[in-house]
Chains A and B, each alone.
Chain A
Amino acid sequence: MGRYVIRRLLQMIPVFIGTTFLIFYMVYALGDPVNAMFAGKAVDPAVAAQIRHQLWLDRPLWEQYLHYMGNIFQGNFGTAYNGEEVTTLMGTAFPNTLKLTTVAFSIECVLGILLGVFSGLKRGRFVDTLVLILTLLVISIPVFVIGLVAQYFIAVKWHIVDPSVAYGSPWQDLILPGAVLASVSLAYVARLTRTSVAENVRADYVRTAVAKGLPRRRVVTNHLLRNSLIPVVTFLGTDLGALMGGALVTERIFNIQGVGYYLYQGILQQNSPTVVGFVTILVIVYLVANLLVDLLYAVLDPRIRYA
């Protein structure tokens, strides 16, 4: 197990470098930040050159990258061009997004797995068909349409909740946005769980468990689910990325001042430090989440652990 963890950690390094460099490269292809700073007004070439030099913009891209990463590891994410520390922006943005994602992820896990197990065990029955049809519908409608319609009916028309999330994102305000954000992933989790359960339900080891005279509940939880959930756990890990991306959309609809909001502002203003900083953090979160999922995977499946 120790070796496995070390191997996974080592594997993370090139991935981290590759991903952040890719983002760095894309952002710096955005355009000339100096021009953006002066909003396209004519700039004294000497001043521009000086600013470029200060911002390391006159160096090759890889040097800029190394410089930037070096700063990041000292906790210095740089300053947005409007003078605000990027870390300050992050302090405002990330808690909101984190809360939203947590709500969505919890809904996705609990509801998705429950629905999937239920319909997998009742394969071919009415419940199963119903779950299949509903999940299909959810998957086929774009999230933002679901979000807008849900917001319109639940918040605007029926006044069950507020249409936009209050400052500081209190948990109860995040239930509707969280559900919207979770909707598509939830549908996938339910379908994946269903397939996996339905496949494993006829497995030899399940038959053995029945032949051992184990109570049905134990057969299902300890034997069937233990195995069926392995692919689901993997999916949940990779799906965190989709949730973080989807948060951009949900935040826009429900007016949450989270990562999506600041990122969008940063992109509009061609504010590279903000964009790269935010995206780097997101990538780290994503990579760590994936690492955790892999470790969990190894805990769940000994064939991986001892491979």
Chain B
Amino acid sequence: MSTASSARMTTADTTEAPLLQVRDLHVEFRTREGVAKAVNGVNYSVSAGETLAILGESGSGKSVSSQAVMGILDSPPGFITGGEILFKGRDLLTVGREDRRKIRGAQMAMVFQDALSALNPVLTVGYQLGEMFRTHKGTSRKDAKTKAVELMERVGIPGARERVNQYPHQFSGGMRQRVMIAMALALEPDLIIADEPTTALDVTVQAQVMELLADLQREYNMGLILITHDLGVVADVADKIAVMYAGRIVETAPVHELYARPAHPYTKGLLESIPRLDQKGRDLFAIKGLPPNLVRIPAGCAFNPRCPMAQEICRAEVPPLFAVTEADGAELAGRGSACHFWKETLHG
């Protein structure tokens, strides 16, 4: 279905093989209410030093797909039912459990949303940081602590030497998130997946944490997958964006092009629902309706019940990820839209 377009998408990166390539990934949750299809054939790739933002509402499958990549999907009820996850050319879905574990944390690491609950409340921050070195590198307890202090200094936690023995609840939200980032960074992985890393934070702190993440990524030339529902967070740091809806990628584009000229009605709706100063006084735009129930995804394009442009074809055929071009047919690198009417959306 969309293999052609995904191949097309990755041509931009063919100078060197992408770090991570997700191909036609399917994940479903088998619940009491039925089978929820959380991820339905997702394709994306990230290269070293590149930042991919995955944008979507809750339930769009953005977190689930990244958990599948990390190998931390709750199973049951979650099951990967198809696809490939190529990391440095190796399909992670065929790698044995023990090898997979060794990759986690060392070569790919994750930053979670709510650091307060994601950090173990009864262990010191230093212990939890040091654990990375102790389990993956066999570092001694003492050296691990020294490294933990270095890491905390690296991510800008003041008084690291004293605070290394404190517990997560003794840190403020921003500092806790820095600890999370330090933990992900510990073994200098090639890929970091940040799942809503700033959602739980104050706006001022959000910017600092985002900046830290971006700086570190540049410095260590890591691939970064940034999962978020916040368009504002993405703009400054991401290179390219994949917009997800009901378990599919509906649009991909380099970040600034997506903001300037969305090629999918859903993206367009999202952009229009951002409050802007020049709109003062007018009603805020909102996409009508609710995200679909993943147990009963609408036939055809999943967005069709909410789409202002929906036609007969949208209810009948699932749109593949079309390669998006200029009106004159000129190629737009890295752009794709899963809309039957992308031309109308983009140019109309």
A residues apposed to B, CB below 8 Å: 202-205, 207-216, 218, 222-223, 226-227, 230, 300-303, 306
Contacts and interface: CB of A to CB of B under 8 A. Distances in A.
B104 A204 contact: no
A226 B120 CA distance: 10
B122 A301 contact: yes
Contacts of A205: 117-121
Contacts of B135: 212-215, 218
Interface stretch (B36-44, B106-114, B138-146, B226-234): B106-114
A303 B167 contact: yes
B104 A212 contact: yes
Nearest to B180: A208
B117 A302 contact: no
Contacts of B109: 211-212
20 contacts: A205-B117, A205-B119, A205-B121, A207-B112, A208-B110, A208-B120, A211-B105, A212-B104, A212-B135, A213-B101, A213-B104, A213-B105, A213-B136, A214-B131, A222-B131, A230-B122, A301-B122, A302-B122, A302-B167, A302-B169
A306 B170 contact: yes
Nearest to A302: B167
A214 B134 CA distance: 10
A227 B167 CA distance: 14
Contacts of B101: 213-216
Nearest to B70: A211
Contacts of A212: 104-105, 109, 131-132, 135, 183
Interface in B74-120: 74, 101-106, 109-110, 112, 114, 117-120
B139 to A, nearest CB: 14
A202 B112 contact: no
A215 B104 CA distance: 10
Q: Which of A208, A230, A302 has the most CB of B within 10 A?
A: A208
A218 to B, nearest CB: 6
Nearest to A208: B118
Interface string B245-278: 0000000000000000000000000000000000
A302 B121 contact: yes
Given A208-B119, A227-B121, 19 more contacts: A205-B117, A208-B118, A210-B104, A212-B104, A212-B183, A213-B102, A213-B103, A213-B104, A214-B131, A218-B131, A222-B123, A223-B120, A223-B123, A227-B122, A300-B122, A302-B122, A302-B124, A303-B121, A306-B169
A203 B74 CA distance: 11
Contacts of B104: 210-213
Interface in B155-200: 167, 169-170, 183
Q: Tell me whether chain B's interface is mostly helix, strand or loop, or mixed.
A: mixed
Contacts of B170: 306
B72 interface: yes
A240 B114 CA distance: 39
Contacts of A203: 117
A209 B121 contact: no
Contacts of A209: 120
A215 B102 CA distance: 9
A96 to B, nearest CB: 38
A300 B124 CA distance: 11
A226 B105 contact: no
A14 to B, nearest CB: 30
A301 B121 CA distance: 8
Contacts of B121: 205, 227, 301-303
Contacts of B70: 211
A213 B118 contact: no
A204 B120 CA distance: 8
A147 to B, nearest CB: 38
Contact of B169 (A202, A226, A230, A303): A303
A203 B103 CA distance: 22
A205 B170 CA distance: 16
B118 A226 contact: no
A306 B167 CA distance: 10
Q: Which of A208, A212, A215, A222 has the most CB of B within 10 A?
A: A212
B169 to A, nearest CB: 6
A204 B119 CA distance: 8
A303 B169 CA distance: 7
Contacts of A226: 120, 122-123
Contacts of A216: 101
A204 B70 CA distance: 15
The 7 A-B residue pairs with the shortest CB-CB distance in the complex, in nearest-first order: A213-B105, A213-B104, A204-B117, A205-B120, A212-B105, A302-B167, A211-B110
Nearest to B186: A212
B98 to A, nearest CB: 8
Nearest to B103: A213
Q: Which of B109, B135, B136 has the most CB of A within 10 A?
A: B135
Contact of A207 (B72, B123, B124, B131): B72
Contacts of A303: 121-122, 167, 169
A87 B74 CA distance: 60
A65 B120 CA distance: 49
Nearest to B195: A211
A211 B72 contact: yes
Contacts of B102: 213
Contact of A214 (B105, B124, B167): B105
Interface in B32-89: 70, 72, 74
A212 B119 CA distance: 11
Nearest to B129: A212
Contacts of B122: 226-227, 230, 300-303
Given A215-B101, A227-B122, A303-B167, A210 B72 contact: yes
Q: Which of B101, B109, B120, B121 has the most CB of A within 10 A?
A: B120
A204 B128 CA distance: 14
Q: Which of A204, A211, A218, A223 has the most CB of B within 10 A?
A: A211
Contacts of A204: 112, 114, 117-118
